[in-house]
Structure 1
Amino acid sequence: MFNSSSRKLIKAMLPALPSIVFLLCFFCVPVYEILQTGAYNADGHLSLEQFRRISGDIVYAKVLWTTFKISLLTALFAVGLGFPVAYFLSQISDRRRGKWMIWLLIPFWTSYLVKTFAWILVLSKTGVLASIAMGLGLVDDPQALAPSLSGVMIGMVHAMLPLAVMNMLPIMRGVNAQLLQAAETLGANRTVAFFSVFLPLAAPGMAAAGLLVFITSLGFFILPALLGTPQETMIAQLVISAINELFNLPFAAALSTVLLVCAIAVFILYDKLVGLSSLSGESRSAVRNKNLPGMNGFLIVAGRTLGRAHAALGPISASVRGLKIYTVVLIALLSLPILVVLPIAFTDSPFLAFPPKGFSLRWFSSFMFSPVWQSALLRSFGVAVVTAVAATALGLGAALSLTRLPATWTKPMFAVFLAPLIVPRIVIAVGLFYLFARLGLVGTNLGLAIGHTVLAIPYVVVTMVAALKRFDWRLDDAGRILGASAFARLRTIQLPMMIGSVVAALQIAFIISFDELTIAIFVSGGLTNTLPKQMWDDMTLQVNPTLAAVSLVMVVVIAVLVLIPTFFKRAEQA
């Protein structure tokens, strides 16, 4: 019935079948729900009324422009500021890089709510910066940086910069240092070699970082809602308002459809120019050079121009010590909000002020003995555990298939598993809300776990694909020759050899669920919140020191989770 190649394809596809079915039901169907719902009016008749409303009102055009402007600026600043850090990390040893990455991962995985709350404490009129400026006599009446566009940009770049660094780093590490040496041997100085050799080869990583930051920023609503004014309203805020306040589901679906179409258009353009494979740390230099024929020439000219100032620029730009100082300063700035939350969590005052007054554990007591907070904490923890196990199991199967499939199938399948990462989170949340409302899963832990698993699968797949590429498949072949079944080889050879990566996948999935707010707003229900949802409700009503105590607890939890995989990686290497 099937020829040999078809049987091999089916066999290679089998491990990914559960994840394909899962994403089909809980990702593709919700997205289709949005497309379908947006095409109907409030009376349930097929109509383009919602889209005409969006295109015909200048307010929505301004919101779309603001959304794209803030997202684009965030991507540019995150990639530009993160590039020297990624370059520095690519030039040091693996052991030193691992230590530096810990300091980068802790701010990255710290909850957006925690970071936003900290920036409120730093940028407000009575915050840290204003208090320091007044104490030094620099100003008499300080102006707040939040709410404002500046506050939104500071918060978003701070949140996205670690993501940009981590996406640029793998491709930078893959650049062959011998090519730079060859360029210098042929007469190029370090600046010319950097611009004409290193930068073109690192460009796919920069493009991948820019894409992921841009797409992620499109769906942001926490930072603009808490750090911005109505002029910084983004489209995700309108979607939430359309559902929670206006109860207009078709209009919310139409807004989500516009956001989805824009994200897909950007993604297609990226794939044409750079290539989808760069998102997993691979370079497609041939395609890049074909589509951007003038880029290398521009970079060579730039390198020669800057090379004339090599005597002054070289010691700074090429020195690892100079890059180390820059990296230390940047990581210190990334950790600044965490350091601000620490003392305020122990204040004795019921009001937020800096420096904090007195010392007390009353706010930790309010958190630990509050039935509302404890219920939210336990619910978040339970859902995160289920999400971590489910996403890792599904993602591991998908990664196994991607390493076994023929090259012609690898790219489309990788795109399928990566799709929840590309589609703005607010779109997925709205789609799941429509689906779960009919299935009776709104307000249930199962609904939350399903939604969080959809978001976590792409991260697990990317993590496990990278691990499987480093795996020595000769060991698996030896087990197969000795008669071990596929499951036995997975259990006794593959998983023990990749324990560090498996734990890292579990960690990532757990943190994604533990910190997730967007889906929780739509799916968690009104009776029992998750911890991020409870924080969001409190922050929108009144900022108080209890939030500082909750934020500090979340930072400690995240720091412990970030450190755990390092111990397993040491065991894996040993």
Structure 2
Amino acid sequence: MTIALHARRPREDERPRQFAWVARSLRFLPIVPTLLFLLVFFIVPVGEILQGGLFNADGSFGLGQFQRIASTPVYAKVLWITFSISFMTAALSVLLGYPVAYLLSRLPIRLRERWLLWIMLPFWTSYLVKTYAWMLLLSKTGVLSTVALALGLVSETSGTIPSLTGVLIGMVHAMLPLAVMTMLPVMRGIDDRLAQAAQTLGAQRSMSFFTVFLPLSSPGVAAAGLLVFITSLGFFIVPALLGSPKETMVAQLVISSVLELFDMRFAGALSTVLLLSSVAIFLVYDRLVGLSSLAGEVEDKRRGSRAQGFKLAALIAAGRLTAPFARRRASAAGGVDGGGGPLRLYTFAIVAVLVAPVLSVIPYAFTRSDFIAFPPKLFSVKWFGTFLGSPVWQSALLRSFEVGFGTAVLSLVLGFGATLALTRMPRRASKPLFALLVAPLIVPRIVVAVGLLYLFARFGLTGTNAGLVIGHTVLAIPYVVVTLSAGFRQFDWRLDDAARVMGASPLRRIATILVPLLMASVTSAFLFAFLVSFDDLTIAIFVSGGINTTLPKQMWDDIQLAITPTLAAVSTTLIVLIALVVSISSRLKRNARQL
């Protein structure tokens, strides 16, 4: 017995290794609560959707629900429409957003932040507010039709909506900022010296762009296309309000199956189709491009350097061939590489198109009329009184603030611990964990919402604030992790090491060093998590309950009945709130950079 005990006792030279292994393991503990949270409230609900779709209407195991989708022409047509609209939205968003992202990547940081401030405003503006704005602009009696008739450009008009054109306009307007901000980090990471060396060797600027910059920015293009496409798969607000029955998408069928037909199994089968499509696209993307490009990083530094070397070698040869024919290389390609006049003008036009529809809602909030008409009869604030004085709107607004604040706190705590652990993990371990943390951003929201409805119905969380906070936290964690990751990458870890050597505990180091120095990123993550919750409609439709709704849910219920000035007042309030949040976040980042 003593021999056995003695055999288990570590030698003196092994104890430091064991203590080091324990210390390394303790660094990974902060991510455990986040993983458990996502396991219970994300993986399990989504898994139940997969399971629910495998049962027939009579409760027996089988593929009857999927056979119903495949054999019914209308469902096959809806699937085709969904994928077609999502693909067109992704292609247009990337195509229109690439020049904007390119210009921003070449600008000085202060000037780039000014442009991004205006791009962030429509990005974080509620989908309902943006769609409401396009309804006012594109309808038969809307602004564009009225102006066209007044100028004599047309003799009569039926408006642009409902139509496929209206749906694409609304969806591209909503997704274009996402495409720009996804491509921008990758473009900023491209070494400018490659293009400069190529031009020194005789290549024109246009050739250096197409041969070096464009190929190296392809991971960002792929990431933008992926996020826009998968996000578009779950759209239902824009096609429902700007489209006709011909533009019905799968998410609308899912909502109808749950709320009108009470057919949970068929809704699960439809959600499974969306989920499997998203996962397949995600896996192909990760195989070809690499997951880390979603965070603006290079998948393999060695491979990236080797690829840049190959690109530069090819460009050197091309530059030598074209050097005799190159004239005025300094001004060639008119701003393709320097952010010249035409590119700036194009970017200004795109930003104006993004911002103008959002701001066009504001005058209607101050109309004296009892209905929406262009031009609005100014000036009155009675619709703000109607909004703030209505018990229904008051309850919805108060509940949105309560749920938003709770979501921001919970997602920040979970996201901070997860990001802290990821920064100290080896790349082999951090990559799959990062994939799990951003998975709610990849999976269509409608799939998450249906899965949570399955789960919450059993535990009595449907219709409660706790259920909304949990659901919104699942959606907000990816935004928190991505926002904090940028701050952690710039943090000087020697400060934390010095405090550890001086005897500070991990919690004390977090409270006195990490959080104060990362306060700008922490505050931005908190505000963005709040906006994700405050703007969400998908989770609210399934989880909020029918009596006490959130503000987006109340807007959704009202906007389907009539387009009223009260909705304009609500939209204006949300625009002011979002502008305030975006301004505070930008100012905090600017102050942190100056420090």
TM class by shorter chain equals over 0.9
Match of 2:333 among 301, 314, 317: 314
Is 1:560 the counterpart of 2:580? The answer is: yes
The C-alpha deviation readout for 1:182-204, integer Å capped at 9, x for no partner, is 11112111011111111111111
Letter in 1 for 2:532: I
Q: 1:424-463 maps to which residues of 2 (within 5 A)?
A: 424-463=444-483
- Rounded Cα–Cα distance in structure 1 between residues aligned with 2:287 and 2:469: 35
Q: How does 1:116-515 map to 2 (within 5 A)?
A: 116-284=131-299, 314-320=333-339, 321-515=341-535
Residue 13 of structure 1: aligned partner: 28
Identity across matched positions, percent: 58
Contact 2:208 2:315 in 1 (8 A): no
Deviation at 1:129, TM superposition (A): 0.5
Q: Deviations over 1:207-263 (max 9, x none)?
A: 111111111101000000000011111100000000011110000000000100000
Give the Cα–Cα distance (whole angstroms) in 1 for the partners of residues 316 and 408 of structure 2. Answer: 46
Q: Distance in 1 between matches of 2:366 and 2:224?
A: 38
Could you report, residue by residue, the CA deviation over 1:320-373 in whole angstroms, capped at 9, with x for unpaired residues? 232222111111110111221011111122221111124222211110100000
CA distance in 2 between counterparts of 1:457 and 1:269 reads 24
**Scaled by the length of structure 1, what TM-score is found?**
0.95
Partner of 2:43: 28
Q: Which letter maps to 1:150?
A: T
Work out the CA distance in 2 between the residues paired with 1:28 and 1:310: 58
Deviation, structure 1 residue 43: 2.5
Name the SS for the 1:7 alignment partner.
helix
**C-alpha distance 143-242 of structure 1, shift in aligned 2 (>3 A):** same
Partner of 1:42: 57
Tell whether the 8 Å contact from 1:195 to 1:302 is kept in structure 2 after alignment.
no
Bigger Cα displacement from structure 2, 229-238 vs 331-340: 331-340
* Equivalent residue, structure 2, for 1:550: 570
**1:191·1:310 contact (CA, 8 Å) conserved in 2?**
no
Change (3 A) 1:67 1:298: farther
Cα distance, 1:302 vs structure 2: 12
Work out the CA distance in 1 between the residues paired with 2:63 and 2:125. Answer: 41
Match for 1:547: what amino acid? L
Given the alignment of the two structures, is residue 523 of structure 1 paired with residue 540 of structure 2, yes or no?
Answer: no
2:212–2:311 CA contact under 8 A, matched in 1: no
User: Partners in 1 of 2:379 and 2:203 — Cα distance?
Assistant: 60
State the one-letter code of the partner of 2:252: Q
Secondary structure of 2:60's counterpart equals coil
Counterpart pick for 2:102 among 68, 78, 87: 87
Instruction: Give the equivalent residue in structure 1 for 2:3.
Output: none
* Cα distance in structure 2, aligned partners of 1:310 and 1:487: 60
Q: Could you tell me how far apart the structure 1 residues matched to 2:508 and 2:174 are?
A: 42
Letter in 2 for 1:317: V
- Partners of 1:276 and 1:155 lie apart in 2 by 28
Give, in whole Å, the separation in 2 of the partners of 1:343 and 1:374: 22
1:439–1:210 distance in 2 versus 1, CA, 3 Å: same
SS at match of 1:541: coil
| CA–CA distance in structure 2, aligned partners of residues 302 and 256 of structure 1 | 50
CA–CA distance in structure 2, aligned partners of residues 440 and 377 of structure 1: 23
CA contact (8 A) 2:203 2:318 kept: no
CA spacing shift, 1:326–1:44, aligned 2, 3 Å: same
Cα distance, 1:513 vs structure 2: 0.2
Contact 2:123 2:178 in 1 (8 A): yes
TM-fit CA distance, 1:12: 2.6
CA drift of 1:567 comes to: 3.1
- TM superposition score normalised by structure 2: 0.92
Q: What is the deviation of 1:410?
A: 1.0
Compared with structure 1, are the counterparts of its residues 333 and 478 closer, same or farther at alpha carbon in structure 2 (3 Å cutoff)? same
State the alpha-carbon separation in 2 of the partners of residues 114 and 5 from structure 1. Answer: 54
Give the unaligned 5+ runs of structure 1. none
| 1:273–1:287 Cα contact (<8 Å) kept | no
Higher mean alpha-carbon deviation, 83-92 vs 215-224, is at 83-92
One-letter identity of the residue aligned with 1:256? S
Q: Distance in 2 between matches of 1:206 and 1:448?
A: 34
Task: Tell me: CA distance 1:309–1:143, structure 2 relative to 1, closer, same or farther (3 Å).
Answer: farther
Gaps of at least 5 residues in structure 2 are 1-7, 9-16
Q: In 2, are the aligned partners of 1:75 and 1:210 still within 8 Å (CA)?
A: yes
Deviates more, 1:397-406 or 1:279-288: 279-288
Instruction: State the Cα distance separating 1:296 from its structure 2 match.
Output: 10
Verify the 8 A CA contact 2:211 2:311 in the aligned structure 1: no
| Structure 2 residue matching 1:345: 3-state secondary structure | helix
Query: Do the aligned partners of 2:89 and 2:229 also contact (CA within 8 Å) in 1?
Result: yes
Q: 2:553 matched to 1:533?
A: yes
Task: Evaluate the alpha carbon distance shift between residue 256 and residue 489 of structure 1 in structure 2; reply closer, same or farther with a 3 A threshold.
Answer: same
**In the alignment, residue 234 of structure 1 is paired with which amino acid?**
M
Equivalent residues of 2:164, 2:247 under 8 A apart: yes
How many residue pairs get matched? 573
How far apart, in 1, do the equivalents of 2:174 and 2:312 lie? Answer: 31
Which moves more between the two structures, 550-559 or 192-201? 192-201
Deviation at 1:6, TM superposition (A): 5.2
Letter in 2 for 1:165: V
Structure 2: distance between partners of 1:302 and 1:542: 61
- d(CA) in 2 for partners of 1:219, 1:287: 35
SS in 2 for 1:332: helix
Distance in 2, matches of 1:567 and 1:79, equals: 28
Q: Output the aligned Cα RMSD.
A: 2.5
